Amino acid sequence: MDFFSGNRHRSYTVSKAHLDVARIYSSPVLLGPPMCDELLALVEHMFTEEEADIVRHIRPWIPRTAASLARASGRPLAEVREALRRLAHEKYVLISFGNGEKERFGLLPIVPGTFEHVLVRRSPDEVTEWHRRFAELFETLYRTGFVAEYARKPVNAVRYIPVHEAVAALPMALPSERLEVIMEEYDDFAVGVCQCRLTKKLLGEECGRPLETCVVMGDFAEPLVREGRMRRVSREEVLDIKREAEKAGLVTWMMNDTSSKFFRCSCSCCGCCCDALRQISEFNAPGFIAPPHYLPYIDLSKCKYCGKCAGVCTMRAMVVSKEKEEKRHQHIKERCIGCGLCAVNCPQGAISLREVPDYQPPPPSFPAYVARHGRNYVANIFRVWASRLRSRH
């Protein structure tokens, strides 16, 4: 079957079931990529043809029971149940809700969603050849740049909090910027490897920074521990893990709301591996990341132009040059996430963090987040849909 992928036109032989599933994943409602060879290759890896023949009857955000999918696919209920169990509880390419006959199965977006769900692991040693190939195919798809199309209007889905040493020096820091305060809301904690740096490691492109930095807090921690996908840790261990990550030049990621009493996720990111930060560092698409509360101020009278700040900045937002005839220290505001690594690592104390005057604190609840940013989400989805529609004519 033939289809268009950007400006490329290729012939690709694929089963109807796989093609149907790829079309579902390509939906703008699932923040999907356009139909392309990269997407089809990933779908063919995720599902056998028999599995795809079942999954093609699941619609975005509408989970279905095994009985419902057995009727839709015309396959025996026992066969469908076994396939769904394998997909949701071994491969983790589907999500499930409930138990027994009432258990329902649904699809997640490729990213964020399926990518993270599949690669949640306690250790790189637990990764199989199937996972390595999944990571390779996902990375190939990610590099097409499709994710950036959903951030043309800012949606501010995630935020980065300043490193601990920087926050300690900021009397105006909010509770939502102090990790130890955020963690007080929860009793259960689990940690696993960062899926982004794990992917780069599997591809032989690792940056050498710590892997075990992905933390889940609250109600979702225990199931992940029980499934053997993360290990249980104490509140103190989480803080130690995060502090060591900061020493390695990583920055702490949070969802951009302050209300979740049930669970919260947090990882420690780098601009070379993290799929969120790469939207800025590789695709110049900052719309997924909330603008920072603080930006660095450089006192040029103290600066020795040593370049330490540029070296530790994971976003390459600092440019320092010390030529014989000209010294230059430039801060690229558009790339800065306000993490404070430059300030705490400056040996001359020439950099400090200052509040951004028009900063908007995180929404106090998920409904408040939707009220603030939902319109832009819908606008981005509609723009992608309209663009694809025009490209067909």
- Give the tens place of pLDDT for each residue, 24-39: 999 999 999 999 999 9
> What's the confidence (pLDDT) of residue 1?
33
For the stretch 12-39, what's the b/e string if a residue is b when 16 or more beta carbons lie within 10 angstroms of its beta carbon? eebbebbbbbbbbbbbbebbbbbbbbbb
Question: What mean pLDDT comes out for the span 268-294?
Answer: 94
**Which H helix or E strand runs over 215?**
strand 214-218
Question: What mean pLDDT comes out for the span 105-121?
Answer: 97
Q: What is the mean pLDDT of the chain?
A: 92
Question: What mean pLDDT comes out for the span 49-54?
Answer: 98
**Does the pLDDT of residue 358 top 80, yes or no?**
yes
pLDDT class for 5, splitting at 50, 70, 90? Answer: very low
Encoding tokens for residue 251? 């920055």
Task: Give the end-to-end CA distance of the chain in Å, rounded to a whole number.
Answer: 19
Secondary structure of residue 241 in the 3-state scheme? helix
**Does the pLDDT of residue 10 top 60, yes or no?**
no
129-142 and 195-202 are packed helices; what angle lies between their axes, rounded to 10 degrees? Answer: 100
Closest CA to 343 of 296, 294, 291: 296
> What's the confidence (pLDDT) of residue 170?
80
**Which H helix or E strand runs over 53?**
helix 49-55
Least confident stretch, 109-118, 172-181, 274-283, 367-376? 172-181
Phi, psi for 47 (deg, rounded to 5):
-130, 135
> What's the confidence (pLDDT) of residue 6?
38
pLDDT class for 264, splitting at 50, 70, 90? Answer: confident
Select the more confidently predicted residue: 324 or 113. Answer: 113
**Does the pLDDT of residue 155 top 50, yes or no?**
yes
**Does the pLDDT of residue 166 top 80, yes or no?**
yes
- Give the tens place of pLDDT for each residue, 337-354: 999 999 999 999 999 999
Give this prediction's pTM.
0.91
Cα 373 from Cα 287, distance rounded (Å): 11
**Does the pLDDT of residue 3 top 50, yes or no?**
no
> What's the confidence (pLDDT) of residue 69?
98
Cα 256 from Cα 258, distance rounded (Å): 7
pLDDT class for 215, splitting at 50, 70, 90? Answer: very high
> What's the confidence (pLDDT) of residue 262?
63
- Classify burial at 125, counting beta carbons within 10 Å of its beta carbon; exposed 0-12, middle 13-18, buried 19 or more: exposed
> What's the confidence (pLDDT) of residue 174?
82
3-state DSSP percent of the chain in helix, strand and coil, to 5: 45, 15, 40
- Give the tens place of pLDDT for each residue, 360-392: 999 988 899 999 999 999 999 999 999 999 988
**Does the pLDDT of residue 4 top 70, yes or no?**
no
Structural domains present in the chain:
1-108 (1.10.10.10), 110-393 (no CATH)
> What's the confidence (pLDDT) of residue 12?
57
Question: What mean pLDDT comes out for the span 168-193?
Answer: 88
**Does the pLDDT of residue 120 top 60, yes or no?**
yes
